[in-house]
Amino acid sequence: MFIYHHQLRVRYGDTDQMGYVYYGNYGYYYEQARSEAIRSIGISYKEIEDSGTMMPITRMNIKYVQPARYDELLTIKTWVPELPHRIILFKYEIFNEQNILVNEGETQLIFIDAMTKKLKTAPPILLEKMKPLF
């Protein structure tokens, strides 16, 4: 299993009138953590796309446990539970500075050919980096 921890500080613009992270921003937080998780194994989303593979999200599930607040330093635990084939699943747990769970979720992405937009298997350049982690 591949696990990565990403930290980010809640910006003022990320919050609602109550000072809580606006619910719609958690998808952006997942995206940041997911991108940095991939980068941590030595490859970037750009390299995957340049190789001819796109990775659209086909599902996102979110569970709001308690609010995150302005200026908190959040830690996003991101993991991939199994080696991808045609689908890659990312799971997330977001913790505040007191290490209290505030949010959990998952995103499912598929691999498609950039030209034909047809479903394909995970690109070799990604699998090469991920296989040693499983």
Residue 114 neighbours by CB distance under 10 Å: 13
Question: Would you say residue 99 has pLDDT above 90?
Answer: yes
Q: Two tokens at 82?
A: 């199994």
Per-residue pLDDT tens for 106-118? Answer: 999 999 999 999 9
In the predicted model, what is the mean pLDDT of residues 69-79? 97
In angstroms, how far is CA 36 from the centroid of its own chain?
Answer: 8
Domains of the chain by start residue, with CATH: 2-133 (3.10.129.10)
For residue 99, which of 121, 128, 122, 77 has the smallest C-alpha distance?
A: 77
In the predicted model, what is the mean pLDDT of residues 88-112? 98
The pLDDT of residue 124: 95
What is the pTM for the complete model shown?
Answer: 0.93
The pLDDT of residue 32: 97
Cα dihedral 127→131→132→134 (10° resolution): 140
Report the C-alpha gap between 102 and 92 in whole angstroms: 11
Residues in the chain: 134
For residue 67, which of 15, 32, 134, 132 has the smallest C-alpha distance?
A: 15
The pLDDT of residue 93: 98
Question: Would you say residue 1 has pLDDT above 90?
Answer: no
In the predicted model, what is the mean pLDDT of residues 103-129? 97
Residue 29's pLDDT band, with cuts at 50, 70 and 90, is: very high
The pLDDT of residue 119: 97
Half-sphere exposure of 124 (CA within 13 A, CB side): 0
